[in-house]
Amino acid sequence: MPFPPTGPGSATREGSFDRDERGRHVSGVDHERADGPAASRNELGGTVHGPSVQAGTVHGGIHFSMRQADNTVVPWQLPPGPPMVNRHRELDALSRLRHDNGTIALLSGLPGVGKTTLALAWLRELGEAFPDGRLYADLRGHGGDRPALASEIVGGFLRAFGVPADQVPHAPAEQLGLYRSLTARRRLAVLLDDAATAAQVRPLLPAGPNVTVVTSRSRLSGLLVDGGVPIHLEPLDRQAAVDLLAATMNDRRVDEEPVQAGELVDLCARLPLAVQVAAARLAARPTRPITTMVRAMADERGRLNALALDGDHTVRAALDVSYRDLPELSALLYRSLGVHPGPDFGPIVGAAVLGARAVPDPEEAARSVLESLLDRNLITEATDGRYRFHDLIRLHAVAKLSDRPSQEQDDAVRAMLDHYLATATRAEEILEPQHRSLARDYADDGVPYVEFADEKEALAWLEAHRVTLVAAVRTADEAGLHSVAWQLTDALWPLFLRGKYLADARTAHVIGLRAARACADSAAESRMLTSGGLCESSAGGHAEALRMFTDAIRVCVDSADAVGAARARNYTGLALLRLGRLDEAAEAFREAEIRCRALGDDRPAALARFNRADVALRSGRLDRALEHAEAARAELARVGDEYNAARARALIGRALSASARHDQAEAHLAAALDVLRDHNARVEVAHVLTALGETAALQGRPEHARQLYTEALDLYDAARAPAAEDVRARLRDLGPPG
């Protein structure tokens, strides 16, 4: 008679039962009495699930003892991984994620940053915490002809658990049901590598208290609702990258060439993949010094090619597969931004590149594309809503643009330069409305630019984008866009004037002058000579400045530009003043004022009057200095030049202080200081602080003077201004602090 099963497995009684080849239970001979005359044989046909007994006569009890069949398969699918160095912070973050209800870690980062390496290291570190196995699947999110299907992966997992191939369900829903049943009570670690989307991953998440690690170039924010916790990987720090280089090379060259090793890992952007590729090339050439690889990598045009092993362009391939997945606009913006002239960029730059392709709202379309590139880790976030490339990614983008028609390359560069020219010009109009007098040429109408609420915003934008703007001048020069080169230099005058970025100003004006001459534009040439000469003079090159101003007068006379010639005469006076030739300077300023006033050029005439006040102050003619300075301040205020009116007021304060009218002097100097601080005119602020310090010292307040001089010195030092030495001498004269 059959007995109901009490669980899976086999059963025995006193004696044994065998199975035939078809799995049927057979009542065998009672081995204890097989030779007796009462021996009998009974057979039960068909298939019986669970333990059963078939007998003619039963004497006594029948006992079943259950034992689990030893047919459990423990999958161990993790692939070998390369060595990992110094990811302690990320390993700690992963360890903190573990809890009894299961863990889903989302590792994202640049191609080659070491996501899979970190995941493998952590899962191995877990040791026996997950005794029921390790599952691994390459989801081919970016590296195959198509991403892996969930049914492919789940079917493989089921077979890894020992489910016979002919018993794996065909229907995807049934596969998933069985997969979840099998994982519900196991303790597993699962690595889902190179995922494309959250939708691809979600069906593969195991049930039960398991650990799942998902790696992707995208952040997969859709999995947050499933309990996923994001961990974003950045490139290694410098020492960790050097350690990885040394471990991969496995010789003493890193110790022998530590400086070159540091340079090499920097050229690899400290991406583990790139560092290991470079190290492998060196390891295969044991007599070659690291410096040879540094030279190869330093040539940007060949850097990606240098990161190749036996024709396997590993880094290039990693980036190529990400690029292939990009939609049309994303690919266009990716490759175009590779030639962006500065370190970071915002959506409005992308809007300039996209232009009419992204109607009706190019900036919003660009913002969406940039966020998509960020999700794919092809760009990273900078500050203030801006983005940037890592070096190797940028070079890949440049390579992709170079594969495109030359017109696309030219259009991308011109669109970005026009944006910066238009925005810098708008800032110039706000900060120096009188300076904005020369035309601007744009490739297309409707160039996107940043609008500013006031002078503070305009100057802040120029300051924040200074590196990019100077790089844009160089880019225009290299591209042969001469009009853009000199016009952008011209538009940056308020930045150079107020921030005293003298090295940048000199670089830009050398390019701008060459570009103006290439355009055969006399007005542009004169402007580059005069503004460039003022920068030279500010840097202490007064003789060179005088030569440039004299050349500017010649250009203006040859082109019948009387206004330009009159203004340039004022500039020659400045160079003469700074060369200590006071009488010649005074005459130059007087002539400039008369000529400018006769031509109706009121602001330059007021500036010449201000300069006459400066000569008078230096000459000790204090009443004449006050007369000229007050007249200049009133005229500059009338024409709306707040900045130079404040400078004139500071000169009044200095003249009053020299006249021992210290209370009046402090009032004028303090008022001027407030305005100049608002204009972020650091060197001019330092001048006023020095004057206030001198007034305090003359009044017998040495500690207050010391405080003012110290603040002025910090500003001078930051600007590398020669006046810093004078302030140091003043501080020494005050003696030690009281």
**Nearest of 8, 7, 29, 9 to residue 18 by alpha carbon:** 29
Token pair for 20 = 């035939």
Terminal alpha carbon distance of the chain: 112
Is the per-residue pLDDT at 9 higher than 90?
A: no
pLDDT at res. 600: 94
pLDDT tens per residue across span 47-78: 444 445 555 555 555 544 444 333 468 898 99
> Which range among 49-53, 148-152, 244-248, 549-553 shows the weakest confidence by mean pLDDT?
49-53
pLDDT at res. 15: 34
pLDDT at res. 34: 37
pLDDT at res. 392: 79
Residue 82: phi and psi, rounded to 5, are: -70, 165
Token pair for 339 = 């030639």
d(CA 317, CA 142): 10
The tokens 């990693």 sit on which residue? 318
Q: HEC profile for 146-158?
A: CCCCHHHHHHHHH
d(CA 262, CA 72): 51
The tokens 């990606």 sit on which residue? 304
Amino acid letter, 507: T
pLDDT bucket at 319, cuts 50 / 70 / 90: confident
Cβ atoms of residues 396 and 428 within 8 Å: no
pLDDT bucket at 172, cuts 50 / 70 / 90: confident
DSSP string over 171-223: SHHHHHHHHHHHHHTS--EEEEES---HHHHGGGPPSSS-EEEEEESS--GGG
**How many other CB atoms sit within 10 Å of the CB of residue 382?**
13
**∠ at Cα 181 (176, 182), nearest 5°?**
100
Q: Which long-range contacts (CB under 8 A, 24 or more apart) does 354-362 make?
A: 354/329, 355/415, 355/444, 357/329, 357/332, 358/329, 362/448
Residue 212: phi and psi, rounded to 5, are: -125, 130
Query: Half-sphere exposure (CA, 13 Å, Cβ side) for 116?
Result: 19
pLDDT at res. 573: 96
- β-bridge pairing 103-109 and 211-216: parallel
More confident residue, 63 or 194: 194
pLDDT bucket at 10, cuts 50 / 70 / 90: very low
More confident residue, 28 or 523: 523
Among 494-498, 509-513, 683-687, 716-720, which range has the highest average pLDDT? Answer: 509-513
DSSP string over 231-251: EEEPPPPHHHHHHHHHHHH-S
The domain covering 88-233 belongs, at the CATH homologous superfamily level, to P-loop containing nucleotide triphosphate hydrolases (3.40.50.300)
Q: Counting every residue, how long is the chain?
A: 738
Helix, strand, coil shares of the chain as percentages rounded to 5?
A: 60, 5, 35
pLDDT at res. 209: 87
**Nearest of 558, 582, 585 to residue 569 by alpha carbon:** 585
Is the per-residue pLDDT at 349 higher than 80?
A: yes
pLDDT bucket at 100, cuts 50 / 70 / 90: low
pLDDT at res. 142: 75
d(CA 156, CA 63): 41
Mean pLDDT over each residue of the chain, to the nearest integer: 86
pLDDT tens per residue across span 552-603: 999 999 999 999 999 999 999 999 999 999 999 999 999 999 999 999 999 9
Residue 605: phi and psi, rounded to 5, are: -65, -40
**∠ at Cα 405 (404, 406), nearest 5°?**
115
To the nearest whole percent, how much of the chain has pLDDT over 70? 88
More confident residue, 657 or 125: 657
pLDDT at res. 50: 47
pLDDT at res. 182: 92
pLDDT bucket at 311, cuts 50 / 70 / 90: low
pLDDT tens per residue across span 394-428: 989 999 999 999 999 999 999 999 999 999 999 99
Cβ atoms of residues 5 and 49 within 8 Å: yes
Is the per-residue pLDDT at 5 higher than 50?
A: no
Cβ atoms of residues 590 and 571 within 8 Å: no
pLDDT tens per residue across span 216-231: 988 999 999 999 999 9
pLDDT bucket at 25, cuts 50 / 70 / 90: very low
* Right CATH for 326-404 from 3.90.1150.10, 3.30.429.10, 3.40.50.410, 1.10.10.10: 1.10.10.10
Q: What torsion do the CA atoms of 632, 637, 641, 644 make, to the nearest 10 degrees?
A: 40
Is the per-residue pLDDT at 548 higher than 90?
A: yes
pLDDT at res. 6: 33
C-alpha R_g of the chain: 39
